[in-house]
Amino acid sequence: MIAPRSKALFEEAKRLLPGGVNSPVRAFRAVGGDPPVIERASGCRLFDVDGNAFIDYVGSWGPMIVGHAHPAVVKAIQEAAGLGVSYGAPTPWETELAGMVVEAIPSIEMVRFVNSGTEATMSAIRLARGVTGRDRIVKFEGCYHGHADSLLVKAGSGAMTFGVPDSLGVPADLARQTISLPYNDSDAVRAAFQSIGKEIACLIVEPVAGNMGVVPPKLGFLEALREITAAHGSLLIFDEVMTGFRLGRGGAQALYRIRPDLTCLGKIIGGGLPVGAYGGARWIMEQVAPLGKVYQAGTLSGNPLAMRAGIETLRLLEDPGLYERLEARGKQLEEGLRELAAQSGIGLQCQRVGSMFTPFFTKTEVFDYRTARAADTDRYAGFFRAMLEGGINLAPSQFEAGFLSDAHTAADIETTLVAAKTAFAALRGR
């Protein structure tokens, strides 16, 4: 479907940028073809440089919960830019946004703003190591927490082995400080902590996995993580970069009623501008410089444009009916996709929590990285291309989450399902 101007611009991008992109999934290698080059966005729609319009379910990978170019958010950014785009000094807006975060997220008493989700998780892990005096960390296969060295780690060969690098450039000695376990497997977590619990500084988890596609926690899994970490003096870190303010104002921790020691945020709290944050109990956060000895800093942290965009976005999320509308649209899409797939005789697990969703092309339950990887990626790629041809922009990988916004209407969902019916019919004919 890619049109001439997009094709030409992407070819030029490949000459100047690795793979033509600044984030790998944008290269479309998992689904084939080249991406449309986007010129503008409004509401729930993207418009490429060739004039094609797409109903968008990527939403800049999550932050655009109120829709693209929401007038109130745009106005706030414009006003902030008119006063100067960066000061390198305290501003009233970082304090205002911090207050909104502390008020909304149950476990956060103090917060530090950074520039990305990667910075947030990296800093939270450093803080956990500093507070506990321990080096090792636990993560889960399929959960992505940014590209810091300690987190680009895959599982070893045993049930509980130290991690091995998942990228060139990650020192093996550092990777060995990370233990990677199966998601939703509380028995594996217990075994790891029984073996070396005194050496584990923290366990970091996406409370609802979104980076292997949407995989909800099994009943009792998050509760077990809270119990096990507390029993061994380790910190529990919730990576809510995706789920924070998306699954409700209190994030996944409010939805599942679990209180982590540290929480990482991003995406929505900057209204689409580069942002991240980590926060937790006051006694923990007071260990961060300049109060404590855990160093972390950033020239553009608390940037006034991102703070103003975040404030305005969180104000819009105070609408009492917003999350109910998101749930209704999500249910409409999920049920519609399930029904169409069943009518076409295509195995589909459409997994959703609130306004996050992933259609897995598999007949079996998806509950961890292994079962997610069993999905038919070729079939997803065919579905993706047919949907794009029909004017629907989905995540260009089977293993990514899709996102709805408050700008999506019931009519937009119906239009999406019409395109899906055609796409399923094409798949059935193969």
Residues contacting 388, CB < 8 A, separation 6+: 1, 36, 54, 394
Q: Which of 55-69, 94-108, 139-153 has the lowest mean pLDDT?
A: 139-153
CA distance 152 to 204: 13
CA distance 146 to 260: 19
The verdict on whether omega for the bond into residue 290 sits within 30 degrees of 0, i.e. cis, is: yes
Residues contacting 69, CB < 8 A, separation 6+: 40, 41, 42, 43
CA distance 268 to 319: 15
Could you tell me if 407 and 72 are in contact, meaning their C-beta atoms sit under 8 angstroms apart? no
Does domain 71-316 fall under CATH 3.40.50.2000? My reply is no
Domain 4-65+322-428 CATH superfamily:
Aspartate Aminotransferase, domain 1 (3.90.1150.10)
| Two structure tokens written together for 328 | 């209704």
Predicted pLDDT of residue 333: 98
Q: Which of 100-114, 232-246, 415-429 has the lowest mean pLDDT?
A: 415-429
Predicted pLDDT of residue 168: 83
Q: Active-site residue 239, yes or no? A: yes
Of the pLDDT bands very low, low, confident and very high (cuts 50, 70, 90), residue 429 is low
Mean pLDDT along residues 91-116: 97
pLDDT tens-digit readout, 30-87: 999 889 999 999 999 999 999 999 999 999 999 999 999 999 999 999 999 999 999 9
CA distance 72 to 77: 9
Does the model's pTM come out above 0.75? yes
Q: Which of 34, 48, 256, 267 is catalytic?
A: 267
Predicted pLDDT of residue 24: 87
Give the SS3 label for residue 352: strand
Residues contacting 241, CB < 8 A, separation 6+: 62, 117, 120, 121, 264, 265, 266, 267, 276
Q: Active-site residue 412, yes or no? A: no
Residues contacting 89, CB < 8 A, separation 6+: none
Q: Under the phi-then-psi rule, with left for phi > 0, alpha for psi from -120 to 50, and beta for the rest, what region is 193?
A: alpha
Predicted pLDDT of residue 349: 97
CA distance 227 to 101: 25
| Two structure tokens written together for 109 | 């008493």
- The helix or strand, by DSSP H or E, that contains position 264, with its residue range, turns out to be strand 262-266
| Two structure tokens written together for 425 | 């019919």
Mean pLDDT along residues 106-133: 97
pLDDT tens-digit readout, 207-216: 999 999 999 9
Identify the CA nearest to 131 among candidates 229, 202, 205. 202
Does 2 score more than 60 pLDDT? Answer: no
Residues contacting 155, CB < 8 A, separation 6+: 141, 161, 163, 164, 180, 181, 182
Predicted pLDDT of residue 151: 81
Average pLDDT, the chain: 94
Predicted pLDDT of residue 160: 40
Identify the CA nearest to 186 among candidates 145, 140, 234, 132. 140
CA distance 348 to 57: 18
Could you tell me if 211 and 118 are in contact, meaning their C-beta atoms sit under 8 angstroms apart? no
Identify the CA nearest to 1 among candidates 392, 427, 378, 360. 392
Q: Which of 150-159, 316-325, 380-389 has the lowest mean pLDDT?
A: 150-159
Does 327 score more than 60 pLDDT? Answer: yes
CA distance 395 to 246: 17
Q: Active-site residue 154, yes or no? A: no
CA distance 375 to 377: 6
Q: What is the DSSP string of 28-73?
A: -TTT-S-PPPEEEEEBTEEEETTS-EEEESSGGGTT-TT-BT-HHH
Q: What percent of the chain has pLDDT over 70?
A: 96
CA distance 355 to 333: 10
140: amino acid identity, one letter: F
Predicted pLDDT of residue 164: 67
Predicted pLDDT of residue 163: 59
Mean pLDDT along residues 230-238: 98
Q: What percent of the chain has pLDDT over 90?
A: 88
Question: Domain limits of the chain?
Answer: 4-65+322-428, 71-316
Predicted pLDDT of residue 152: 78
Report how far apart, in Å, the C-alpha atoms of 45 and of each of 76, 245, 269, 412 are.
21, 22, 21, 10
Q: Which of 164-168, 270-274, 323-327, 331-335 has the lowest mean pLDDT?
A: 164-168
Does 158 score more than 50 pLDDT? Answer: no
Does 380 score more than 90 pLDDT? Answer: yes
Does 156 score more than 60 pLDDT? Answer: no
Q: Which of 34, 48, 185, 239 is catalytic?
A: 239
Q: Which of 57, 144, 183, 380 is catalytic?
A: 144
